[in-house]
């Protein structure tokens, strides 16, 4: 347990829209953070240095919050959900590290990415370490059902990332193909995070399925909004840069809609920018203008509302409670952060 690197306080990074949910899981999340700090340690000092760079950078910690709150919604009284929530965050962090290498990203949440600071090589290997560590934690928990859920989710995430790689620069990508990508790369872990909470609580199957459905639909809504935000202009408030997807030629729903709704001239613009990656000054502004003209951003958010509604309906199986209300508010936050 050498080289202990502290995380900065996470309170600051909880947005208002998640405050109610956070209040319900605050004590558990403090324990989750302690597990994360403990388990990212290694005698190889570069590992906790790099891991803490990305983990401490904050983020909403939405996925482990979902594991804790799903367990609580099922009246779980034990403590296994804490370590498993940390596993979920480790898997997420490992995929972020590898994503940033694959995307050659320099910025994440307004901070330099781990690969920008420590190099691609270290990011790939520390991602592997965190992923292995997540499985060690699960093995220590001892539930084969949980291991099955999270190993399956991990394989599906990797499949989704490969699918995304294939659709990159392909302006013919359909909305359904895009949905396959985000269902795999994002929603699978949201679903698994929630399902694990129900499983440790030994909830009845219909409740576990409802939690899975809540997480899955929330995850799709989350990614849709994220993809719209990549073309919105609230860079300063979000600590996000805009236009990253455009620069990489990543095909997201705003592009899919604008391309399909556009004229042949417009389609040639999209092909030049996204297929040939021949981008000039002002192209991003033109892209955003075309998206606005064709309501591509608004309709991406509208699609997100559809999945948000499904997420809320999935929770209707549970009796009303403050926690259920907070989980519904998390759906609303996920979508409304677009404004």
Residue 121 binds to a copy of itself (criterion: CB under 8 A): yes
Identify which of 6, 106, 1, 99 has the alpha carbon closest to the alpha carbon of residue 51: 6
* Cβ 90 to a copy of itself shortest distance, Å: 11
* Cβ 114 to a copy of itself shortest distance, Å: 13
CB closer to a copy of itself, 108 vs 133: 133
Residue 182 binds to a copy of itself (criterion: CB under 8 A): no
* Cβ 307 to a copy of itself shortest distance, Å: 22
Residue 154 binds to a copy of itself (criterion: CB under 8 A): yes
Beta strands in the chain (DSSP E): 107-108, 111-112
Residue 309 binds to a copy of itself (criterion: CB under 8 A): no
Residue 163 binds to a copy of itself (criterion: CB under 8 A): yes
DSSP 47-78: HHHHHHHHHHT----HHHHHHHHHHHHTT--S
Residue 129 binds to a copy of itself (criterion: CB under 8 A): yes
Please measure the distance between the N-terminal and C-terminal CA atoms of the chain and give it in whole angstroms.
44
Stretch (H or E) spanning 85: helix 80-103
Identified binder of a copy of itself from the candidate list 26, 161, 244, 336, rule CB under 8 A: 161
Identified binder of a copy of itself from the candidate list 165, 277, 286, 332, rule CB under 8 A: 165
Rg (CA), the chain: 20
Residue 131 binds to a copy of itself (criterion: CB under 8 A): yes
Identified binder of a copy of itself from the candidate list 159, 244, 299, 329, rule CB under 8 A: 159
Residue 151 binds to a copy of itself (criterion: CB under 8 A): yes
Identified binder of a copy of itself from the candidate list 6, 142, 282, 319, rule CB under 8 A: 142
Give the separation between CA 166 and CA 187, rounded to whole angstroms: 19
Residue 170 binds to a copy of itself (criterion: CB under 8 A): no
Identified binder of a copy of itself from the candidate list 1, 11, 78, 128, rule CB under 8 A: 128
Give the separation between CA 303 and CA 307, rounded to whole angstroms: 7
User: What values do phi and psi take at 250, rounded to 5?
Assistant: -80, 130
User: What values do phi and psi take at 171, rounded to 5?
Assistant: -70, -10
Question: What is the CB-side half-sphere exposure of residue 6 using CA atoms within 13 A?
Answer: 3
Residues 8, 109, 13, 308, CA torsion sign: negative
Q: Give me the residues that bind a copy of itself (CB under 8 A), please.
A: 42-44, 46-47, 94-95, 98, 101-102, 120-122, 124-126, 128-129, 131-133, 135-136, 138-139, 142, 144, 147-148, 151-152, 154-155, 157-159, 161-163, 165-166
């Amino acid at each position: 347990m050498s080289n202990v690197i502290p995380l900065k306080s996470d309170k600051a990074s909880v947005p208002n829209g998640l405050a109610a949910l956070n209040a319900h899981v605050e004590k558990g999340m403090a324990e989750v953070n302690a597990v994360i700090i403990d388990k990212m340690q290694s005698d190889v000092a570069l590992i906790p240095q790099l891991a803490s760079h990305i983990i401490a950078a904050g983020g909403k910690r939405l996925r482990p919050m979902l594991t804790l709150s799903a367990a609580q919604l099922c009246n779980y009284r034990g403590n296994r959900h804490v370590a498993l929530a940390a596993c979920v965050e480790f898997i997420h962090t490992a995929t972020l590290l590898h994503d940033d290498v694959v995307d050659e990203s320099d910025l994440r949440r307004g901070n330099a990415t781990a690969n920008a600071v420590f190099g691609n090589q270290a990011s790939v290997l520390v991602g592997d370490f965190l992923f292995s560590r997540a499985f060690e934690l699960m093995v220590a928990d001892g539930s084969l059902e949980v291991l099955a859920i999270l190993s399956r989710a991990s394989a599906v995430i990797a499949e989704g990332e490969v699918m995304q790689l294939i659709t990159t620069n392909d302006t013919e990508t359909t909305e359904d193909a895009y949905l396959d990508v985000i269902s795999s790369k994002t929603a699978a872990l949201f679903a698994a995070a929630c399902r694990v909470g129900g499983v440790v609580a030994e909830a009845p199957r219909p409740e576990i399925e409802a939690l899975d459905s809540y997480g899955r639909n929330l995850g799709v809504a989350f990614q849709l909004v994220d993809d719209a935000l990549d073309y919105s202009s609230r860079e300063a408030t979000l600590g996000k840069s805009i236009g990253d997807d455009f620069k990489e030629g990543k095909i997201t729903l705003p592009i899919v809609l604008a391309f399909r709704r556009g004229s042949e001239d417009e389609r040639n613009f999209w092909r030049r920018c996204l297929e040939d990656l021949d981008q000039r000054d002002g192209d991003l502004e033109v892209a955003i203008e075309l998206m606005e003209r064709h309501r591509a951003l608004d309709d991406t958010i509208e699609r997100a509302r559809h999945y948000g509604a499904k997420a809320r309906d999935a929770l209707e199986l549970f009796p009303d409670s403050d926690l259920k209300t907070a989980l519904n508010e998390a759906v609303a936050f996920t979508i409304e952060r677009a404004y």
